[in-house]
Amino acid sequence: MATLSPFLSKTPLSNTPTISFSSSISTPLKWKSITSFSPSGSSSSRSRRRIFIVQSKIREIFMPALSSTMTEGKIVSWIKSEGDVLSKGESVVVVESDKADMDVETFYDGILAAIVVPEGESAPVGAAIGILAETEAEVAQAKAKAASAGAAAPASHPVTSTPVPAVSPPEPKKVAESAPSGPRKTVATPYAKKLLKQHKVDINSVVGTGPFGRITPEDVEKAAGIAPSKSVAPSAAPAALPKPAPAAAPAAPLLPGSTVVPFTTMQAAVSKNMIESLSVPTFRVGYPIITDALDALYEKVKPKGVTMTALLAKAAAMALVQHPVVNASCKDGKSFTYNANINIAVAVAINGGLITPVLQDADKLDLYLLSQKWKELVEKARSKQLQPHEYNSGTFTLSNLGMFGVDRFDAILPPGQGAIMAVGASKPTVVADADGFFGVKSKMLVNVTADHRIIYGADLAAFLQTFSKIVENPESLTL
């Protein structure tokens, strides 16, 4: 009698077939039904039982979605090589998402039979990047599957529409030559099947020119010796003559010595976010703040590991508590959300891009714990080890270029947030007091960019006044 697969639970068999899997299997399963009878002679006492046996044990390793904004990932390196034996939960490959490099683990035990996407190449989320076989016996079959998957990928791009084969007949031959020589299932469109019956044409005698060798109605008419009903296709060709558009590309030649550098995954994600931000109606408000007291506090707490970024993040979080609308967000243009948490995202420049680690619940953490958390986030960001929740959960963003001596600048609003604050350098400035006496004080300029759909000028001005009072009287920051 056939043996049960190790993936099947050993439960008592009953009239109703029961099966449970330890984990989901990505490849289609082939089932074999075995009917057994009790040894009793009477037909009335016969009990029919069905046992299902899993015959397919080849699985695909998919490109995971490592963040909510990730559409494709790049293979940084394969930790394992082809032929290596893998255990469930073991790291197999390092994938670069739009924000970080992360290890991808296997959900199954088995052998890494084939690597579909090599190091340095990208694949969309959900695409197969490797093939896993359960035993040595399936390795060859898994490699064949990987080879067919690799061959099918480029073949899917040239196929744009069905009339194309009628204009350029050589292409169907290429499809036919690239098709596997072994037995395969011939696929035809519903209308093509109807024509096959109508003209009594053997389906095995027809060469399909559609995507992946699919038989189209034109293929059936050609095999039956009938003039294709869409013979007017050539007349449509002149309409395609406005293809000089691609020729416009060479009109802008590169300057001598120029180099074209493709975006990294992170740069592509930043570019996408910046384009999305153009759809949001924003406005900007600037505000001058005297920082003498903040600078004095910073000199006291700096030896304890507190950074100026932590001070500013804490001050912003305390101000947001009093002005929750500035911490709100609008994502669909029809409603907005008052966020329950105040998560301050802080922009950090790293090699080849920009990322915003998030100080979660910044209003609830004391200054020293907040500063320690910030240092940990910066280290993880620069080594590209941030987890998704550590960079995509911000409700308000802080961008500080003051350390570079920048007086003022405007920041672009990140998609999904209500406001972003741009902080300039604190510089000695001549100011007049209430009595008209002049003096020199340190002053910095902050500019806030806000979503005008949910935040109005008065809201932002009130928030900046509160932020200014906290910075100019910073004792509350250490409480």
Give pLDDT tens digits for 309-332.
999 999 999 999 999 999 999 988
| pLDDT winner (highest mean) among 13-22, 62-71, 144-153, 375-384 | 375-384
As given in the structure block, the two tokens for residue 211 are 């995507």
The per-residue pLDDT for 358 is 96
Vertex 360: Cα angle to 278 and 284 (nearest 5): 30
Percent of the chain with pLDDT over 90: 34
The per-residue pLDDT for 464 is 97
The per-residue pLDDT for 210 is 73
Stronger pLDDT, 385 or 375, i.e. the higher one: 375
- Residue at which a domain ends, from 118, 148, 178: 148
Confidence of residue 269 (pLDDT cuts 50, 70, 90): confident
Helices 308-322 and 457-472: crossing angle in degrees, nearest 10, is 130
Helix (H, G, I), strand (E, B), or coil: what is residue 121? Answer: coil
Does residue 362 lie in a domain region?
Answer: yes
Cα(44)–Cα(428) distance, integer angstroms: 101
Does residue 77 lie in a domain region?
Answer: yes
Does residue 124 lie in a domain region?
Answer: yes
Residue 441 pLDDT greater than 60, yes or no: yes
Please compute the mean of the pLDDT values over residues 352-367 and round it to a whole number.
91
Residue 21 pLDDT greater than 80, yes or no: no
The per-residue pLDDT for 151 is 53
Please compute the mean of the pLDDT values over residues 125-145 and round it to a whole number.
79
Q: So which residues are the catalytic ones?
A: 452
Please compute the mean of the pLDDT values over residues 174-190 and round it to a whole number.
52
Dihedral pair phi/psi, residue 273, rounded to 5°: -65, -40
The per-residue pLDDT for 228 is 57
- Residue at which a domain ends, from 88, 114, 148: 148
CATH number of the domain bearing residue 141: 2.40.50.100
Q: Where are the beta strands (DSSP E) in 89-200?
A: 91-96, 101-105, 110-115, 122-124, 128-133
The per-residue pLDDT for 412 is 94
Tally of domains in the chain? 2
Confidence of residue 244 (pLDDT cuts 50, 70, 90): low
Mean pLDDT of the chain: 77
Domain that holds residue 144: 58-148
Q: Which helix (H) or strand (E) holds 234?
A: helix 233-236
The per-residue pLDDT for 236 is 41
Please compute the mean of the pLDDT values over residues 3-23 and round it to a whole number.
40
The per-residue pLDDT for 70 is 76
pTM of the model: 0.56
Dihedral pair phi/psi, residue 3, rounded to 5°: -85, 150
The per-residue pLDDT for 249 is 46
Stronger pLDDT, 268 or 469, i.e. the higher one: 469
Does residue 229 lie in a domain region?
Answer: no
As given in the structure block, the two tokens for residue 15 are 């009239």
Percent of the chain with pLDDT over 70: 73
- Residue at which a domain ends, from 95, 116, 148: 148
Please compute the mean of the pLDDT values over residues 377-384 and round it to a whole number.
89
CATH number of the domain bearing residue 318: 3.30.559.10
155-169, 198-212, 330-344, 358-372: segment of lowest average pLDDT: 155-169
On whether the CB atoms of residues 133 and 110 are closer than 8 A, the answer is yes
Does residue 467 lie in a domain region?
Answer: yes
Does residue 41 lie in a domain region?
Answer: no
Please compute the mean of the pLDDT values over residues 93-113 and round it to a whole number.
79
Stronger pLDDT, 370 or 208, i.e. the higher one: 370
Residue 168 pLDDT greater than 50, yes or no: no
Confidence of residue 11 (pLDDT cuts 50, 70, 90): very low
The per-residue pLDDT for 172 is 45
Does residue 130 lie in a domain region?
Answer: yes
The per-residue pLDDT for 185 is 57
Q: Which helix (H) or strand (E) holds 377?
A: helix 367-382
The per-residue pLDDT for 362 is 96
Does residue 252 lie in a domain region?
Answer: no
CA 17 vs. chain centroid, Å, equals 39
Residue 402 pLDDT greater than 50, yes or no: yes
